Each structure stands twice: as structure tokens, then as C-alpha cells.
Structure 1
């Protein structure tokens, strides 16, 4: 399947693709202008499950379907100068191809995005003293509990966005896990990092942040630090008795005090050094505690929804950066040199408001125009449609972009927007959701 080739002087970059990643087809097309000619690669099971996506991709790009098992031969003859992906589920396959084809960005260690491997790497580098142990069976869970001790977190070694996470705080939680979990392969038990508050004292901000980093062979540019909206946790509401843990928003620039921000960036660089990360855009999550900054995990691809927040503030297009990094040193160095400091043009937030209940269909009739009418809303990426399954939007009622001129304006605007969305989706129970109380105007934390 082919599409117009575009500027033949530009190198080809393969993009291993699937739905619901950090970049869609339009974002890839726009970001590639003047950088490369993207070639979309689909593993056959993905192509068979999403034929309409493959058809749309074929209108915009050359498309190739890779046979089951992912042999390298079908890719070798494409003449690719680089390779990348914007989806976490395709990272390991992409790394396999990068290594086999000896392209920029090939991992320095085996499966660097595996959370167990990261814990070992951070421990060896002296970055973390957090207790952890692999879990692959019921008996393995019991052994890990003796080693790690409570409170702890049971999580998949390869998943993002809080998928499959279970907080194990007491013997009752242990009993619940043993009674409800049937799948044990590929899990990790690690000590629970004590919850804290955002060092700025702003009560509605969460106690963790993310850092977006561009890495070349010798240099690292930390493009932005994002604060987070409060995590939405539903105890024992997920599959196999797990909790549902949902990140609900990203805010840039961060309001971390300068000394804490410096430590966050230092820990991020140390974590990337421990993993040997090169020619990547990475998304590193870190928890800020009164004692230190603990690396939660490193994701080897662009963070979801973040480029839409950075570009209006003069920040880099992370999708464009990932495509350029895939080609090696020259394009990557130009990205580092062209970076400008954020913070002069106000604040941006991506807000994802989850439904309080996962089951059933959407009971509220809400349009994009309804959401755009809320104060400060400058973009609507997603709105749950009346009658659709709540899971169709990842159990989110709405995904909107909010802009303000100052930090104080953002505090007031976010509270208004959250209340507004709750009112629009009142028929789905949002107005009575206790999670919304985190956004109520209140005094700063002491």
C-alpha cells in the first residue's frame, strides 16, 4: 500500500504504529514536514484488528504490514534511515528492529522499559533503595511480600497509565489479591513510596511530576517539567480486583521551587544514564517527597497529549523531535540548539476528567461546543458521546486543553472547568464524585 512519496530528498523514517498512542496520523504528518518521510509499519495482528486505521494511514503515508513474529527481512529492504514508535505496546518490538538494523536509538540494555529491569538499574546506580521483587505466581507473590513488606504496590512490569496497579497496604488487601487475581505472569511488587504534597503548596497539584527529555549520543535536554492533576483512584474497581489509577491532567510549566526542580532534573538524568538512553524522547515520572525525589519509571517514547501543551508556549514539538532523533546525531543536535525556555507565555493544561463508574453507557448529552464554552478551554480533544460505552473514550468524560496567563489564574480556571464538566455530565454522576473536591478553592498546604 503506498501514498505520495513527498520530498524525495528527505530520509525515510519507519513508525511502528497502532491506535491510542502519543501521536496520531495527523500529528505525525505535520511533525515530519521538512524532517523526514514517514513510513507506517503495522504488525499484522494490529492491522487485522484496525483495518480502518491502516486504510487512513495509506492515504497519507507508505504503509507496510509486517508478518506475525516480526521478522527483520521485510523491513531491511525499505531503506529506512531511522525507526521509532509513539506507542508503549510497540516499544519492545521497535527496539528489536533497531538492534537488528543497527539504527540510532538501539537500546544499550535488554528491555530497558521493563519496570523490574529499571529497578535493578536504579539500584545499581545508587538512585533508589526501594525494596522490590518479581512476581510470576501466587507463591511468588507471597515470597515477594516477605521481602518487600507492606505497604507495597503490585503492578505489571510492562504497562502505562496506571493499568493493572494494585495498592497492597494491609493483610486485607493481600487476601483480596489472592482471592481475585488469576493472571500472575510479568508482575512486580515494590515498596509504596509515601504520599506527599506538591512542594509549591498548591493543594490541587499531585505529588509527582514528569520530565520530557531529548537525548542524543552525548547530550540531554530536559525540555519541560510537567505538574500533574490529582490521580483518580478507584479501589478494587479494575480487572482481577486491581485498583483503577488514572492520571487526570498535565500542567506546564511546573511550579516546583527552583531547588526541587534542579533535583528532579538531576534524578532524571541519572536514571537515563543508568539505562544508557540515547537518541530518544523519553517521559520520566518522579515522586517528590520531603526527603528526596524518587524515580517511578522511565517510558521510552513521547508522553501522551504533551506536544499540544508545549507548542503554544514556544516549546518543542516532541513528535518532530522523536522523528529527528531517529535519524541520528545531526538532526538531534539541531533540536538541542533550537530549544527555548518555557514560562514566558502563560500556562497550559491538558485535563482528562474520568467517569466515576466504568460500566454502562454515557447518559449525558454533551457537545464539543459545550466544552469550548467553559472559561479557559482552548481545545477539545475528546468528548464522550451520549449512548456510547464509557470505555470508548478510556472511561474519560472529556479531554480538554486549558490556558491561562498566570499560575493564580490557572488555579481559578481549573476549578471552574472541573465544576463545569461535572455539571455537564451530571447524569453520569460526576457532580457527586469525591475526587472533584481536590479542585475546590482552598488555602495552600502548610
Structure 2
């Protein structure tokens, strides 16, 4: 079973190793440039799996020679390459359409299916950007057609934002301009939850199972702090089970299924993000792989191992005992939270000295997946200060603890400016910090 790998994906080496037990023998595959950039990762993989580094010129014969039964990836940057190999080698899971994870392709498909009236236009030059603005109008969002996690996103709220983009951006290829979905509040009324959710779906050739709905922690946005004048947009956490009202949850699942039908998605585990507003449920994007950091939250609550499901689907297997057939009943086992706290500035090295023991001392923390080390480049942890797992027995315990935990992490990394990061105001309001509400 081939796994095209690189760091900072939805599943690490340990996740793949654990999920494959009794199912398949993973073969880790690295493209040449990835192996050259991350040689230590390649050596670590060799200690756990057979490893193959592909030639740059024509990788298809090299992969064909491995005689794999299946192939998958857990990293968005490797999806298109993996899909190319799936088609070339006639392996299970090849997409029905050419580039289903391209946001422009998705917008067109959703519009044709009557799922969205959001205005949009492709952008490949400054002139096309000006023309697209006349069609889409402000407020709008300029984003890469192929990127995740908020990378490269620019919010355009007024003419000043437009002038900034035109003056700072030099690379225009492969962009999408779309209307800004109005910000809203989480339908549960819980003030610290963000206004969007994700749905994790296992699709076989004949059925779909929406395994779980995840609520989200507030997004961190720093205006014009990214490359080429883009905003620095970072997701900060996931919560399961979702606290959506039952009727809204049903509509979210229905819209997710409709979006996957519009894209012709089969034999995949997908991660669909949707914005929930009082008037509409709008699909933000569909990602053709397991959602990042989510299996670690599902498994303790009795939910499925989505990494294992992805490996199973890639093998072409549809055995009932290997794939979930209905959503797990997660609510009886409490709440799991994955909180990944971003650095407010991505350049430079880590100034704070924080240990795993420091993080484990915070209320509700049951696991520390990552902690940035003093003196290391902030890029070494994907620009995250810490990535922790929390567990709470009740919603009341969760709501009471999430602010102190976020404030505690910010305090531990105060030397790196986390205490002043605006997204914390949603998790830890001023009155909790001893300031003026």
C-alpha cells in the first residue's frame, strides 16, 4: 500500500503505522524535492517502513514497478500528484473529474448543481483581478485555487484592501476571487465557537457515511501579515462532538452529501468545510483527504480511525467491518478538543522556553502532540507554538476551561507575542483576563 508522504499532513508516520496494523504493509513514497528538503524525515520513515524516493522526470514507471495494490496521501500538497498516479496506474480512488480539489472547479460544480449562488471568478493576472472585481464586487476573498489552512487568503473589504493587493502582489497565477460569505455566529449560541464546521465523510462506490461533524475554535487573522500582502489566516482548533442544533446538523450533512455528489467523489475519505449562517449553509471547500489532527479526537470517543478508513478505501476494499456505516454516537463520552496555537509572526526563532510538562499542567490537557522548542525556527512546527489535545466530560466543563487553557498557553509563550494575539479574545474575553470587558 503506497502512501505519498511529506511533513505537516493530516497523518504522521505513527498514525499510518498504527492504522495499517492487520490491514496492509505501507510503502512510504517521497517525491525527490520533498526528500531533498526533509532528509531527516526520510530516514525516520526508513526505520518504520519500506521507503522509495521517486525520480523527478517520470515517476509513473518507478511507482508501477512497486506493484502496489493501492495508493493514497494524507497531505493536500500531494493530492494532485497522487491522483495523477492513480489514473496512470488504474488504481482505486481516482477522481471522476480532472481536478476536483481545485476551488474554481468546485465553485463551478456547486453553481451547476444549484448549491451556491456565491459570485466567483478565476484570476491569473492583475488585469483579470480588476475585471473579476467588477463581476464579484466587494466584499470579497482572494485565495489560491489549491491551498488549505488559510494559506494565501486575502480579505477584500474596501478599496484600500484592493490597492494594497495591487501594490504588493507579484504572483497572480492560480487564484480565485469569490464573494465574502457574511460572518455569523455558531447556531448553538456558544460565543467562543467559530461560525463554520467540518464534516468527515467516508464514501465508497455505493454509499456515504458522514462520520462526524467538528466545531471550530476562532480563526486567527492578521491583516496583511502574510506573503505578498495576503492576510495571515490560521485555523486554531477542532471540537467534537459538534453542538449544532439537530435540525441544522441535518442540513449540514445534506449539503455535504450534495457537494460530494456534485464533484462525483467516491472511494475517498473527505474533509468538507461549511459556513453556517442564519440564511444559508455554504460549502467553503472540499478536501480529498482526511482532515488534519482529527482522528486523534475521534478515537478516544469511540469514533472511527479515518486514517485506517482511507487506507482501506485505497485498497479497493468495502468490507463492512473495515468501514463505518453510520455516524458514531460520540456525545456519551464527553468532548475532545484539538487546540493548535499559532505564532502571531512566522519569521524568526522561538523565544519562549516551554516544556510538555508545562502544557500538561493546564486543565483538561490529556496529550501534547507538539511544542515549539526554544531557539528552533518557528517553521519547524508549522508555525504552531503548541498542539494539544484536551478532554472534558461535559459541555459546561469545556466552556469553563477553554479560555484558561488558551490564556495559559499564551502566557507560556508570552516572549513570542502570543499574549497579544487578537484571536484569543474570543476564547479568553477581557473580563477573564482581568481587563475591561
Q: TM-score, normalised by structure 1?
A: 0.94
SS at match of 1:213: strand
| Alignment match, 2:303 | 315
Shift of 1:299: 0.3
Of the three residues 357, 362, 374, the one matched with 1:374 is 362
In the other structure, the counterpart of 1:267 is 255
Query: Shift of the alpha carbon at 1:391?
Result: 2.6
Alpha-carbon spacing, 1:66–1:391, altered in 2? closer, same or farther (3 Å): closer
Q: Find the counterpart in structure 2 of residue 5 from structure 1.
A: none
Q: Which of residues 267, 283, 287 in structure 2 aligns to 1:299? A: 287
Partners of 1:207 and 1:288 within 8 A in 2: yes
* 1:157 to 2:151 alignment: no
Greater Cα shift, 191-200 or 51-60: 51-60
User: Compared with structure 1, are the counterparts of its residues 70 and 119 closer, same or farther at alpha carbon in structure 2 (3 Å cutoff)?
Assistant: farther
Can you list the C-alpha shifts for 1:333-354, whole angstroms capped at 9, x where unaligned? 7413486321110000000112
Q: CA deviation at 1:190?
A: 0.3
Partners of 2:317 and 2:375 in 1: CA distance: 50
1:420 paired residue number = 408
Q: Tell me if the contact between 2:103 and 2:176 (Cα under 8 Å) persists in the aligned partners.
A: yes
Question: How far apart, CA to CA, are the structure 2 residues paired with 1:238 and 1:76?
Answer: 40
Confirm or deny that 1:327 pairs with 2:315: yes
Equivalent residue for 2:132? 144
CA deviation after TM superposition for structure 1 residue 91, in Å:
0.4
Which ranges in structure 2 are unaligned for 5 or more consecutive residues? 432-437
- Alpha-carbon separation, structure 2, partners of 1:291 and 1:337: 31
1:60 equivalent among 48, 56, 63: 48
Q: Residues 359 and 72 (structure 1 numbering): CA distance in 2 closer, same or farther, change over 3 Å?
A: closer
CA distance in structure 1 between the partners assigned to 2:260 and 2:110 by the alignment: 10
Distance 1:222 1:442 in 2: 38
Q: 2:84 aligns with which of 90, 96, 111?
A: 96
Distance 1:332 1:97, change over 3 A: farther
* 1:382 Cα offset (Å): 1.0
Structure 1 residue 431: Cα displacement: 2.2
* Counterpart Cα distance in 2 of 1:334 and 1:26: 20
User: For 2:8, what is the secondary structure of its paired residue?
Assistant: coil
Q: How far has the Cα of 1:441 moved from its partner?
A: 6.0
SS for the counterpart of 2:198 is: strand
CA distance change for structure 1 residues 435 and 337 in 2, over 3 Å: closer, same or farther? closer
> Take 2:2 and 2:379, find their aligned partners in 1: how far apart are those partners?
30
Structural mapping, 1:93-132, within 5 Å: 93-132=81-120
Contact 1:197 1:206 in 2 (8 A): yes
Match of 1:35 in 2: 23
CA RMSD in angstroms comes to 1.5
Task: Tell me by how many angstroms 1:112 deviates.
Answer: 0.6
TM-score, with structure 2 as normaliser: 0.96
C-alpha distance in 2 between matches for 1:411 and 1:69? 53
Distance in 2, Cα, partners of 1:139 & 1:18: 35
1:240 Cα shift? 0.3
Q: What residue in structure 1 maps to residue 194 of structure 2? A: 206
Separation (CA, whole Å) in 1 of partners of 2:44 and 2:348 = 30
1:158-173 equivalences under 5 Å are 158-173=146-161
- Which position in structure 2 is the counterpart of 1:216? 204
- Which runs of structure 2 are paired with 1:390-409 in the superposition (5 Å)? 390-409=378-397
Equivalent pair of 1:321/1:332 in contact (CA under 8 Å) = no
Give the superposition deviation at 1:433.
Answer: 2.7
2:216 corresponds to which residue?
228
Secondary structure of the residue that 1:316 maps to in structure 2?
Answer: coil
Number of residue pairs aligned between Structure 1 and Structure 2: 431
